[in-house]
Structure 1
Amino acid sequence: MQKIKKIFQILKAELKKEGVLKNSFFVSSSKAISAVTNLVFMIYSVNLLSKVENGKLQYFLGFLPVVLAVAEFGLPNALIKYISPMAEKKENPGAILNASLRIKFYSFLFLSFVTLIAYITSDENYLVLLLLLFGGIIISFISYFESLFVSYRKYKSLSLWNPLPNVVRLLLLIYFSETNSHPLTYMDILAIFCIAPIFVLFLFFLFFGKEEISFSAEAKEIHLNEKKLLLFNLWAFAASIFAILSDRMEIFFLNQFHPPEIVADYGTALQLFSGFIIILATFNSIIYPKLARLAETEEFPTVLKKSVFLGGMIALCLAPGILLAEPILTLLFGTKYTNSISVFKILYPNFLLQLVFAPLGTALFALGLPRLLAGLALLRLVFGALFDYWIIPDFGANGAAVSLFLGQIVSWLLLTGYFMAYFRK
């Protein structure tokens, strides 16, 4: 007992020394507001739509993270890795920033080409394709700017920036639902979700003055950094794509084997975990810059161990939340989504464990090992696809939740094994 108490005291002292507690408060508070507004948006949307329409909305929203991953091309993590040390030394990041914007333009051209091919070869509504294309590009700039706030450790500004996209989405949804003479369709809600963040992008330049950050650089430096980012980001991008496909694959399989109502049961339960995603993002925002700065030092293993311990403590504190599945879903949706209760209970342990293992994945980026992370994500994708094909046809939404959990176990075990070997060096 005394040993555990000592560990807590050491961890508390470390957090205070680094300003993590204060920064975590600002960022987590803003992320909480963002999560709540996003959750309200989804609850409001689900109650506006029929179960069939909601199933279609959840299906198309499942494509958006894939588009977003291509639009980002791994840039947020790369920017934090390379700009954090530069910000610490007050060096000019102009070459990296210009190179990253060029890469974003290449991503846009690639996505435009894929969208055109999808329109020609499928019978999908062209408006849906355009919404996914421009929605992914717009939202990618939200995360792009967020990475700059994190790199410069401007956590107070970040706490003001974080909630804005979801607040605007919610306000627009309420406005159109109240003023429109016809009920909103899933297409209307998809449009609001994808396009609304464009109204907050310009505010970045109010938070980040010209004297704080520069985009100026010589053409030769830009070209060299473009190559460096492309090489690093190629594997980071692959890791991101594999991970997102793994997370969303269950919805695609459900759509193939079951009617939209089953997709709605699973997608609605999944949306309730947006709070966990916010906690993970906050966690990453705080520990990643520090791990990136300490990657080549003897402090790195100690900081990483403390991060995993902290993730475990957060997971333990949140564990009783599984008991709230039935009252929460009943309160929000009545008896319309009773089938989502069991899905929620199956998914809950998976998200708790993600809090524990998240620092290990972040550490691979900090160590400059996105190739290894991509390999683990691919392994997770392969096992996830096998479990999906085996379980989902017979067990529907509950099977999808089980498959998501099982698909991650192998990659978690290998990730743990790698760092156990790393710490023994």
Structure 2
Amino acid sequence: MSSQKTSNEKTFFGHPRGLFTLFSTELWERFSYYGMKALLIYYMYDKLKNGGLGLDQGTAASIMSVYGALVYMSGIIGGWIADRILGGRRTIFYGGILIMCGHIALSFPGGVVALFISMVFIIIGTGLLKPNVANVVGDLYTKEDIRRDAGFSIYYMGVNLGAFIAPYIAGTLGQKINYHLGFSMAAIGMALGLIFYVISGRKTLGEAGTKVPHPLSPKEKKQMYVKVLIGLLIIALLVVIGALTDNLTVSAFSTVISILGVLIPLCYFIVMLSSKKTSDVERSRLLAYIPLFIAAVIFWSIEEQGSVILAIYADQRTQLSLGGFTIASSWFQSLNPVFIVVFAPVLAALWTKLGKRQPITPHKFSLGLVFAGLSFLIMVLPALISGTDTLVSPLWLVASFFLVVRRIMSISSRTLGHNKAGTRCLFSSNNESLAAF
């Protein structure tokens, strides 16, 4: 087993060297993703003379929302491809290539066409890469390895470090010089991550992530290709019909994505619960997981508004000049990761000290949702105090981001490690019930 082979190499804070490879890969992938995301909504609604696309602000917000939803949904495809066709390592590589191509498309002034081409590449690429990196981290350790949880904590420091520095580099270049220069930095970041992943991974990852847990038989592959072809033809037909009937609008597309956002998880839960391969123990755990899944959906729906509603608020309703120094509105996107990096160890230490007296995971989720709700409720206060026509202090946004991050920090590092490693729990190799899906 690859984890047994690599778990004795204590060269990165006492962990397998492969952890540093995956730590760095995800750092640069998150740098590219959040660097682009910090600029994207401004680029869409900014005036043409400023280098933006000049889209209606409401349209830009709708596109951002659909984009965010599709990024999350695409993880299902990435998990399935890794488990049944390519294995985790190759899936990560191809995902990184697509992400880099997406950022390159935005690096040139190609207008709305380049925007949507970029989004397609990044959505698919992130779906291939994001869930599988965490899974390969798990492959570095045996199930009994006591370093496993600490390894995930180190890995997520890389995630948040990349997300933290991205707005200051890509965001600053994009807003103060040229949007396409900012997007170019995102492309360079992903390229650096890919180069390091390939060169370092050959030496440090061993066999981790190379196995295809449930490979398709030749017959199943043919059936899969037919289904994919039929699916693409149906999508193409719907696009043509929508264009001919003038129904191919952002609003209509948002409605379709909203419906899929409900139907896709519902189908997966039904498949897993009804599968003969699901044991009684697995079924009971799945039923217990459903409320947590719903709570997570609610939270991420709120948290994702940081790059939409709060981003617009930062740009148009916030006082950005302080003592002769001007803050770029994209910089506020770094607040989420910086609060996690600073306060997550404090919460982890608190849970450790409380031991068995700490709240159970469902209670932590509930407490987190309360904080997430408060993060938006607090933004009502500036309007009540100063009205809606006055620029407000940036500290209100700082407080809002802090409160929403408290939800993330309310989950112990141990729970976070296991849940994040299992972001593919609906479609991973660890879930036998979907092997025949």
Which TM-score bucket, shorter chain as reference?
A: 0.3 to 0.5
How high is the TM-score relative to the length of structure 2? 0.37
